[in-house]
Amino acid sequence: MAKAIQEELIRYLSGGQFVSGQWLGEQLGVSRAAISNHIASLVDMGLDIYSVTGKGYKLSEPLTLLDENNIQRKLLELGQKNKVEVHNIIDSTNSYLLRRLPNQNHNLQVCLAEYQNSGRGRRGRKWISPFGSHIYMSMYWFLEQGMAAAMGLSVVSALAVSDAIKDLYQIDVQLKWPNDIYFDGVKLAGILIDLEGQALEPCHCVIGIGLNINMPQKSAEQVDQPWTDLQEVINKSITNSEDKKVDFIDRDELAATLITKLSLRLQQHQSEGLATMVNEWAKHDFYFNKPVKLITGTREKKGICRGINSQGALLLEVEGKISPVYGGEVSLRGE
């Protein structure tokens, strides 16, 4: 019930005009006190709402929500037929698709959300998900060859994010093994891959992508690592003084392009493996040929990053010997 009321409140407020609490209560069949409580919950989600006595509630600026039909239309124009669902409020886009296993997902099906109240990063970290500010997206991918075929999917997904940003904004990003996208050395996007199935049987894969678009200040204060967002990246990349700064990023267009690039990369990986992508990764590899330290629990190993191999493993050189590192609960840091 609370979710339904909150979604209706968002719809009423999205135009950026004042809406009275009494009128909202009448429309939704609840008291003004209840409206006040729900507004407070929306503020906690990252929406910038303020109130003025005698006028009501207002968003600081109009809110452009993701449009499922528009995204689907743009995908058809790009030659894709992915099934797409857009949710306003959800626990996690990855969790949603995982709950639908094994028979309720179509291959390359996508879930997008405006807000995740239980968004997840790698190693159980919380993914800060302010409402309507970023892209939170998950795609289902069936692995007929089993879990062994999942090797390198974080590399494939990171390249797809790079493809989309390059295609739309002519910007080159940096990739950090195993699952981060950087710009100027700070995090722009992250990838989370969930697998379900048996090692030697066909299995299910859900690929989650969180891409920062326009980070609200209050949400930024909750992020515990250096970050950037696409709005800032694009404006930093403007070199011609006559070019105007970008105030609006079309998230529908970005979502459709990202879905397209990820679909194409997954199909490339299925038919060719990762070997054809290794050189592409090297061009964007943030730590390539740099001193790094590999952190596993309380242990650290120092060496030189030599890129990745054709299985998507990190190649770490220690005392002249290069060894592959195959993901898991591992963090890569600059030395």
Domains of the chain: 2-59 (1.10.10.10), 68-280 (3.30.930.10), 287-334 (2.30.30.100)
Model confidence pLDDT, tens digit, residues 204-218: 999 999 999 987 666
- Asked whether 56 and 19 are in contact (CB, 8 A), the reply is yes
Of 155, 208, 158, 207, the residue nearest 327 (C-alpha): 155
Query: For helices 230-237 and 153-169, what crossing angle results, to 10°?
Result: 50
pLDDT of residue 123: 47
Position 81 scores a pLDDT of: 95
What amino acid positions are annotated as catalytic residues? 122, 187, 333
pLDDT band at 50 (very low <50, low <70, confident <90, very high): confident
Query: How high is the pLDDT of residue 205?
Result: 96
Closest CA to 75 of 268, 287, 254, 279: 254
To the question of pTM greater than 0.75 for the whole model, the response is: yes
Residue 296 has a pLDDT of: 83
Of the candidates 183, 270, 268, 172, the one whose C-alpha atom is nearest the C-alpha of residue 228 is 183
- Proportion of the chain above pLDDT 90, given as a percent: 62
Total residue length of the chain: 335
